[in-house]
Structure 1
């Protein structure tokens, strides 16, 4: 390893000899560690590697850094000297030979746009021209000026039209503006006239502008530059797109031949060329008819701006049949807002209002204007339509073709011309009706009512005889009927026309007079109505239902009279705070005329809940009223076109019961014996029943309670007494038993309160009692035939005739013994001989109950201590009875 290291050192030393560059050209750098080799250490070689690294770090020679040539001082100085010499030679050559060619090239590529070129003071050979133009397309590097050294020639189609002088144009940042007023000298009047025709009639034309100019730029003057520019400009296209602002016939012509006319219009001018036209005269034509002549004064075209045109003149009367028909079409289209193209043919033009210029006259007389006669806003010739009445008859057979009829459809009309117009005929009137912008029917049957119309005051009346109303949009018709029936107001759009014959100052014309209006109609507004129900009458009964007739008051504020056929509505009532179904209401043929309608209806009482139905009937016969909902469903009508409306129908009303409440119990009759009064208190009773219905009632069972002055007097316990009560007839019931309270207290009540206040009952008298009952009824027939139901019925102040018999019949052991004692079967007549003092009070009462009447009176007299006075003595007899009762019931004293 040392020998190889020495050899490397020798080679490194010899490599520093004879370097290939001079010392003065070399810059040396500090020696740094060379990391270009990556030496790997191995076992036994660490010492040799360290020696080599140290030697290489401090003894190796590196190649010095050398500057690029463009950074050397000699090179930079040389370049500067060469540049100065080059520019001194090139610039004079460039300015003399290259710059003119470059300027001409830029001039050729530059663009020119004429914004406006307005011609005023036109003459045969010259006119004043105001020019507004822009020059573009010039490089933005330099500013320059361009001076026209010759007049600018204007050529068209290869023919020189004229020339004009233009002042110097200044260009800055690549653009220049020309805004000058100069004089255009017309060199060829014939050619200029032809050009003027094209300018007015064509949609575009090309001008060629040529001249010679001197340009000054960057301090240099460049002469004799040629200017030759083709300018594409818009023409007036025969005054296309005229917009009519007004068309009026203000009066009849003074000479009696037609009418004066006034037309206001604007004409767009897409061309940059403007011109003073002065006074223009035009002849107006429509198809083959010569209409008349109009004149416009002070007419001026301005480049790129709309021109106002006010034409006034005279339209002549048409006498030829063909021309009258053409005039009729023109006027009808105008009234109907249909654009109609008339034409205006140029007659003359006088720029100063007096003198003509040949080339301009030739241009105008060769021009034909298209005049679209159309109203500025749609005209309401027939307006303020009023449908005073309209009848609709719906049918199941033709649901979408109801019959319509109207005696009076009136309208105001105004022909928008102030000329003589006398309408002599109106026919072929059509009406289209639309709801919410959807048309649903057209009527072609309207007839002009000449007797009802007032033509001098612009009032026209039509009538519509009964005619089929063929609905072609069912959905729109349904929406319309919903609005009319359910809402307070509805709007309907009416469009159409009438064919009219009018004698005018322009001739006899056949006009199609349009109508277009929105009519607000009052609706029936069923949903907000409260129908008045009256004249309720129960007319029968079946096992399924009870038919009830009545009248329903329905208000119709609309102009429509509607025949809807049979309708069936559902009914719900509120009874005792509960809402429930009670049945249907059927109107056999509903006809709703304007105003109040009293409509007969039949209610089929057929509740789905029996208890609810019984509560309703109980209140019904007692004179109660019920909050009731009336509504439609899928069975309301068999007419398909009206069913959707009736299904949505809802109303609320008050359904009255039988008002005034009838007196079902007219009277009561009872003739008890004294024994029944003092003993079992089981009194015989008959009632007189009244039937306020128009059908028979069978009273099957009665359960009742009787009160006198708030005191319970007795009750009938479910007495089965079938009997019929015929309509409007008072019927006496079979005898039932009125069970009064037993015992001492009620007996004492009788003799201390009831009989003293009603002494007449001792010999026969009437007492007013209150009555509460539950009656099982069959309405309309016997059980199994009529409607079986149960009602609860109460009535106050029922007159009851009572007459007490002196007999003690009905007095029994059990009744006198009292409810607190066992029956006294062991006490018989054999014990009568026993001393009465040994008997208990109940045994004594039982013993008395078996005595004959004469012995009973003697025993009672013995107990009381005095004989009974005559019953006719009234209170004396009552006093004796009180003593007798107290004596019979000593245990209560």
Structure 2
């Protein structure tokens, strides 16, 4: 069949036919995707892909639709903007609704498709067609695979792999667990970094940053840090253990960063660099590495404390040498080899010292710094007050918040560095850094070891029964300060609570008193100025017991608990150390009932009397073995003889000093009751005759009006020898009598005596009964009531009485006495009972005197 088609060079381009029937329209989707443009990636009109299985007279098989959809989805994924891939060219689909009627179809094609009705030809043509169709399909599939490979391999190598690598690098996380800076110089330092890279993806990869990373902070480039090659494991990442030289590119910015890092809780480094990544056999270059790394800053070292503090000596440069062990906790993972540091030490905004630390390597966590320096001399009251308070808190066990001000940092001299010049960027960051440092107070420190009260004065009166005044002129304190520098005590004050056993007894607070002593001998001699010994309310019964034990026992132990303040001279100035706590036992020597040595009556003088008692002035020696001097006010003790109370002993404003005391007492002799009167008469008779007798002196609850001493004095019992009356001449100096011739018959005569008054007061004879004997024979008696006209004899004088009626006993002996009297050789014995008035006190005595010179004669005013 002849072809009606023109020659090839005259043929027109094949025109696109209409889309296949509505039963399957895949090209609609493609046209929809390309609705914004009708051009493919090669600049040609976009045509839908051919459907090799399309027949105009039959619907598209489902398998063909599926294949077409699959191809459509497969190729659509190569472009993010839904346009055809540059490596994909569409095969134009040629279709006709009727091939036979289409004039543009060649004749051969029409003959091939015009099978006719010949069965053999029809069968032959069908077999050939099917065979050619299978070949075409095979060639087409191979071609498509080659085309896909040709497209995907470049895409995978040049698009997908770099994108995956960049995504893995970008999505990974970089963390520095520690960073240590060593070998610091002006331009660089060695930075050893430990950390981890995580979230690197499912493939093993090796990341190399050949030029290192540029490190910046706060928008300023700090320097460049090389990084070691990172080998990341799938789903694990990689550990970083790198030691590289960090090159400083901007010293000013790096100094500012370091100052920020020292004072802030955290900081962020920005890292940028270009990485080479090797993964899955591919080597990819130019991968951008951009990371922010946040680390904890040093936060101004919030936990810095001084664990030990010593001041071993005075410093040659002036002041006091100090040695400290400081613990500085670094919360940052960054450690720095700082070198030698210098600090100023401040307290209460006053510079009190200077310290240095050598070869300091600041690591993460707790760092021990040995600081050495000195406390500098203070010339202002504020400076002295600051040092005083610091010492006081340390000794009292209290913490003190000091301030350490960074002054200088410079490299330490070592084998690699002989320079001591500060590094500019480190110095600018370090200088002015202020640290709050806690100086922990000393624990279990005993400064005052003992208190020896060599003397103690206690002054009582009825108005301060439970607040006597205490005073000591000899107080010795043994002390030891925990330092070696010289300290000379100048004044001392105390605030003390005194315990008697387990109970708080009294308080004693003293003001500043002169003191003498120094730390080299560890002894302070001081005094207690007159200070109230204030009994604690409710402890009055306990204080009564205390007073009783002090009076009766050999010693009394008391516990002194409190604090002392001192003013001391040191090489930094005069400091006041307050709150020196102490608890010591001390003791007072007791009075032992005043029986260590017996009381001695040195002299006795009868000076008068009242109607109730005779007044006797006594000089008594009492020995006080205690180291306590007690002022008791007025004290009244009872006077006993033969178990009977015969009077009282009064001690007005009684002061019992240490050792021997010669005390002037007043005794009131005035027994009451028959037994007491009888005992008192015996005592008085013996006294008048000059005989000594043992008397007792006892206290009672009524001995004092001071309630705190009543129990103590009630237990007091003394005994002493009361001497007899001492006189240079007898009471009866001479006696005389008269008789006449009638006396022989009447047995009456007269008698008189020359009487001497040995007392220091006038005595009056109110009644007199006497018996005169000679050689044992009574020669006369007299019984005369003189009440109406008493015979008064002034003190220390001799008076001749008037004639008194004498009853004679006529006997041979009486006649012999008469002749003896005439010759002047008569000496008689006189026994008398006399009622006397001593002052206004009337008493009766029995008095006997032997060998009284006797003669003839009349009494006074009689002839």
Relative to the length of structure 1, the TM-score reads: 0.48
